[in-house]
């Protein structure tokens, strides 16, 4: 299985290490026609207004929404913003893949970045993992069919809808692979460290 990483701008190289660890081939996607050759896509962190500009210029919008109808997408930080239905910034044009509303830079500026250990519920298991927030967005509203995977101080920071996953944080910076595995190897056990969900 070959997974693409959108490589227009931002933090995309760290994701290749996670995919290598899972035994998945990866390619850096810079043109819409390259979506034909992959079975899943990662939209990494970066700057959402810049991503909007580049995706418009490269004619990615229709190609990516068509791709998402059939295949999974994982979005981290700015990737989550791009996957949202509504974003509170007039220069961002989201894809509308997740029925959520997002407050861009909701957790503050770069100097407010932080790492926490959070419990994540995924594939009927709960696991505590380190998560790093960097100029992170806040999910302010979710629609029907959106599964909440994790919260930070009562605020939603990870969601899943259908085959797609959106994260306000950067799992690739902490070597966390459970989201990549869930998105792209959905029938696998999420992690060797998983604990059964309490009855």
pLDDT of residue 188: 66
What is residue 171's DSSP assignment? G
Active site residues: 77, 170, 172
- As a whole number of angstroms, the distance between CA 40 and CA 55 comes to 18
- pLDDT for 55-88, tens place per residue? 999 999 999 999 999 999 999 999 999 999 999 8
pLDDT of residue 23: 96
Q: How many CB atoms lie within 10 A of CB 74?
A: 27
pTM reported for the whole predicted model: 0.90
- pLDDT for 12-70, tens place per residue? 889 999 999 999 999 999 999 999 999 999 999 989 999 999 999 999 999 999 999 99
- 72: buried, middle or exposed (CB in 10 Å: 19+, 13-18, 0-12)? buried
Domains of the chain: 2-196 (3.40.50.880)
Residue 125, pLDDT above cutoff 90: no
Do 133 and 45 touch, CB atoms closer than 8 A?
Answer: no
pLDDT of residue 40: 98
pLDDT of residue 136: 85
pLDDT of residue 123: 84
Residue 135, pLDDT above cutoff 90: no
Residue 132, pLDDT above cutoff 80: yes
- As a whole number of angstroms, the distance between CA 83 and CA 65 comes to 10
Sign of the CA dihedral with 35 first, then 38, 39, and 41 last: negative
Residue 105, pLDDT above cutoff 80: no
- pLDDT for 163-193, tens place per residue? 999 999 999 999 999 999 999 998 764 444 4
Instruction: Band the pLDDT of 109: cuts 50, 70, 90.
Output: low
- As a whole number of angstroms, the distance between CA 124 and CA 141 comes to 23
Locate tokens 């998945």: which residue?
Answer: 24
């Amino acid at each position: 299985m070959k997974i693409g990483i959108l490589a227009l701008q931002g933090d995309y190289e760290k994701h290749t290490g996670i995919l290598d660890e899972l035994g998945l081939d990866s390619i850096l996607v810079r043109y819409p026609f390259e979506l034909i050759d992959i079975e899943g896509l990662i939209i990494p962190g970066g700057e959402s207004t810049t991503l909007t500009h580049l995706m418009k210029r490269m004619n990615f919008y229709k190609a990516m929404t068509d791709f998402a109808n059939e295949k999974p997408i994982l979005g981290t930080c700015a990737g989550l913003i791009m996957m949202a239905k509504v974003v509170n910034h007039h220069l961002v044009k989201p894809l509308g893949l997740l029925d959520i509303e997002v407050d861009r830079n909701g957790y503050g500026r770069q100097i407010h970045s932080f790492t926490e250990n959070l419990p994540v519920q995924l594939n009927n298991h709960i696991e505590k993992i380190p998560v790093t927030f960097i100029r992170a967005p806040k999910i302010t509203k979710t629609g029907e069919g959106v599964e909440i995977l994790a919260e930070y101080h009562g605020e939603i920071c990870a969601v899943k809808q259908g085959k797609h996953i959106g994260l306000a944080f950067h799992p690739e910076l902490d070597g966390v692979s459970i989201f990549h595995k869930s998105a792209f190897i959905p029938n696998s056990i999420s992690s060797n460290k998983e604990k059964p969900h309490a009855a």
